[in-house]
Amino acid sequence: MSEKTKKFKEDASFSIADELGGLELLQAKYKRQNFSRHSHEGYTIGVIEKGAQRFYRTGGNHVAPKDHIILVNADEVHTGHAATEGGWEYRAMYPLPEQFAAMTEGIGPHPSVPYFPEPVVHDPEVAQQLRLVFSTLENSDNRLLRETLVYGALVKLMARHSKTRSEFEPRTRGQKQVLLVKTFLDDFPQADVSLEELASLAGYSPYYLVRAFQKEFGLPPHAYQIQSRLRYARKLLKSGHSISDAAQEAGFHDQSHFHRHFKRAMGITPKQFTSSAN
């Protein structure tokens, strides 16, 4: 294999820090990877190490070059692909909203979660602190050190780059109606439900529901159902289910269909995920 081929070889390493609430971590080098529109239960916090990534978030396209931090809010639809010919390398973590809420407990009347308005920030100090976190999580088994560094980095990131958003913010009636549909898809991801049935649940026409749902959550109901099924499948894989059983139980037609959607949303294959999660 030539040096040039080695240089451009794609690679991804996924891991889970169980003592940190199951914090998911990714270290990756991509050139051809093209993330489809997808969302995560947790936030995406990534540091670009080499090259640059172009991605969609918050209604627009953004470029994150080396030493910049990528910030995607929980449940926020986003994409990702190379912005340079040589691709990009980055490290990322996916903290859950409840982990952020725990950090602010006792500060105000209600738990709150951050909202990061800027998809890309240039903050060398926090970027270096995040690199230290990633390195420590990879190389140290000292639980106190690991937890302290993660907590410190996320608190500083919130203080510098987020707005506080209460989990108890009031919703309009229309938002509550489409939230009913989202909740159903989250609770029953494997269900073979029709658009007519979802529209009936919300009290809308099918056409209006598709528009209202996409406006609120960034994806139409059928595309969101795929994301919900992927999340359910990941839980099944973590609990020891085989890839084929997880695919079938989560509602995917076949294993290849599951593999394709998983890779385009996660950047790794189900097999890579399973080897790290178990």
pLDDT at 163 over 50: yes
Q: Kindly report the average pLDDT of the chain as a whole number.
A: 89
pLDDT given for residue 48 in this prediction: 96
One-letter amino acid at 44 equals T
pLDDT given for residue 173 in this prediction: 75
> Could you identify the residue written with the tokens 């639980």?
143
* pTM of the entire predicted model: 0.87
What backbone phi and psi angles, to 5 degrees, belong to 10?
-75, 145
Q: How far is CA 124 from the centre of its chain?
A: 23
Cβ(89)–Cβ(51) below 8 Å: yes
Q: Where are the alpha helices (DSSP H) in the chain?
A: 3-7, 97-103, 124-139, 143-161, 173-187, 195-202, 206-217, 221-238, 243-250, 255-266, 270-277
Helix H or strand E segment including 57: strand 44-57
**CB proximity list for 276: less than 8 A, separation 6 or greater:** 13, 14, 15, 16
Neighbours of 93 (CB within 10 A): 23
Angle at 123 between CA 86 and CA 135, to 5 degrees: 70
pLDDT given for residue 20 in this prediction: 84
Nearest alpha-carbon partner for 12 in 263, 277, 278, 211: 263
Mean pLDDT of 15-20: 87
Give the residues across from 62 on adjacent strands: 55
Of residues 61 and 174, the one with the higher pLDDT is 61
Whole-angstrom distance, CA of residue 198 vs CA of residue 265: 24
**CB proximity list for 120: less than 8 A, separation 6 or greater:** 62, 63, 64, 68, 69, 70, 71
Cβ(105)–Cβ(53) below 8 Å: no
pLDDT given for residue 5 in this prediction: 39
Q: Using pLDDT thresholds of 50, 70 and 90, give the confidence band for residue 1.
A: very low
Neighbours of 27 (CB within 10 A): 16
Give the residues across from 64 on adjacent strands: 53
